[in-house]
Amino acid sequence: MGDIQKRKVLIATDNFLPRWDGISRFLSEIIPRLSEKYDITVIAPDFGTYEDPNIKLIKIPVFKFLKIGDFNIPKFKSKRINDVVKNSDIVFSQTIGPIGALAIKASKRYHKPIVSFIHSIEWELVPKAMKSNFLKKYSKIITKRVAKRLYNKCDLLIMPSQNVVELFIWNNIRTRNKVVNLGVNVDKFKPADEFTRIEKREKIGIGDKDIVIGYHGRISREKDLITLLRAFTRIQNNYDDVKLLIVGEGLKEIKEQLSSRKNVILTGPKNDPVPYLQVMDIYCITSLTETTCLSLLEAMSCEVAPISTEVGFIKSYIKNNFNGLFFQKQNPYHLSKQIEYLIKNPDIRRKIAKNARATVIERFSWDNTAKGIIDAIESTIELFESKKN
DSSP letters spanning 56-84: EEEEE-EEEEEEETTEEEEP--HHHHHHH
In sequence order, what are the beta bridge partners of 324? 320
Q: Are 308 and 324 in contact (CB under 8 A)?
A: yes
Cα torsion angle, 318, 348, 353, 19, sign? positive
User: What value, to the nearest 5°, has the Cα angle with vertex 143 and ends 139 and 144?
Assistant: 120
pLDDT for position 130 = 75
Closest CA to 279 of 203, 227, 218, 183: 203
Is the pTM higher than 0.75? yes
CB-count burial class (<10 Å; 0-12, 13-18, 19+) for 16: buried
pLDDT recorded at residue 2: 46
Mean pLDDT, each 10-residue run in order, the chain (389 residues): 77 92 92 95 92 87 76 88 96 96 96 96 84 77 94 96 93 95 96 93 93 96 96 94 95 94 93 95 96 96 98 95 97 98 98 98 96 96 83
Domains of the chain: 7-183+365-388 (3.40.50.2000), 194-363 (3.40.50.2000)
| DSSP β-bridge partners for residue 71 | 68
Q: Where are the alpha helices (DSSP H) in 110-211?
A: 122-129, 133-151, 162-170, 194-204
What pLDDT, on a 0 to 100 scale, did the predictor assign at position 388? 73
CA distance 275 to 267: 12
Tens of pLDDT, residue by residue over 55-111, are 899 999 998 877 666 678 898 899 999 999 999 999 999 999 999 999 999 999 999
